Amino acid sequence: MTMNDAQLLQEYAKNRSEAAFAELIERYVGLVYSSCWRQLRDRHLAEDATQAVFVLVSQKAAAGSLRAPTLAAWLLSTARYTCANLGRTERRRRRHETAVVMSGGGAESADDETRAMPDMLDLLDDGLARLREKDRRALVLRYLQGQPLRDVGEALGISEDAARMRVNRAVTKLQASFGKSGVAVSFTALVSALSSASAVQFCSSNAWAASRSIVRPTSGSAAIARSAAFAC
């Protein structure tokens, strides 16, 4: 029988079950990785950030301090802080580099190309963070986790029709948040962006393998996790 998030967290807290923790990673690694990629626009940095987030998950789950109903929202918030810290570290590293090769006709990498994507994805995680918890959770369930409205309603303790209304209101509020940031976007375009955001969850084998290894985290990922923990 498949265990829900609460049961998996309890199993890990009580018995340090690697199987339970691996199941949690499998459920959420795509959500976390796609968020990290949107913010960092670098595959390798996103993998490092994803691993660091799950290091924190293992620490907090072991202490019994994570709540299943808000787990997805907590993961996105933690990913945001982790990426901010990792981004600052990366910018400092680049400032200390003595030379940058700008010449030559080499082809752009995929990461170079994705940095030129529209501002909408750049603002998505910040916009979600500014929403109230109930609105953010509705959007995460519906679009970033791709759940049908019936399941969204069950998770929120409301009917399917009420879930549809809450999701639509949350999109409208996110649209207004974008407007305050100077990005005008239609309701339909924003829904499309939310839906496509989860498509970045291609989550390379490196990210998956790294996250699976965090039961015995590397010193580097643990250091990133510690820096993120101060902000969480």
Q: Is the pLDDT at 113 greater than 70, yes or no?
A: no
- pLDDT at position 107 is 44
Q: Is the pLDDT at 106 greater than 50, yes or no?
A: no
97-118: average pLDDT: 44
- pLDDT at position 180 is 86
Q: Is the pLDDT at 149 greater than 70, yes or no?
A: yes
66-79: average pLDDT: 89
Give residue 2's identity as a one-letter amino acid code. T
User: pLDDT band at 111, cuts 50/70/90?
Assistant: very low
Cβ(75)–Cβ(53) under 8 Å? yes
Percent of the residues in the chain that have a pLDDT greater than 90, as a whole number: 43
For residue 123, how far is the Cα from the chain centroid?
13
pLDDT digits (tens, 9 = 90+) for 172-224: 999 998 888 888 889 998 998 888 776 655 444 455 555 555 544 444 444 44
105-129: average pLDDT: 59
pLDDT digits (tens, 9 = 90+) for 2-54: 899 999 999 999 999 999 999 999 999 999 999 998 888 888 899 999 999 99
In sequence order, the 6+-apart residues with CB closer than 8 A to the CB of 80 are 35, 39, 125, 126, 129
User: pLDDT band at 126, cuts 50/70/90?
Assistant: confident
- 13: number of Cβ within 10 Å: 17
For the record, the structure tokens of 75 come out as: 């993961």
Q: Please give the model's pTM, rounded to 2 decimal places.
A: 0.68
SS3 content of the chain, % helix, strand, coil (to 5): 75, 0, 25
In sequence order, the 6+-apart residues with CB closer than 8 A to the CB of 193 are 120, 121, 124, 185
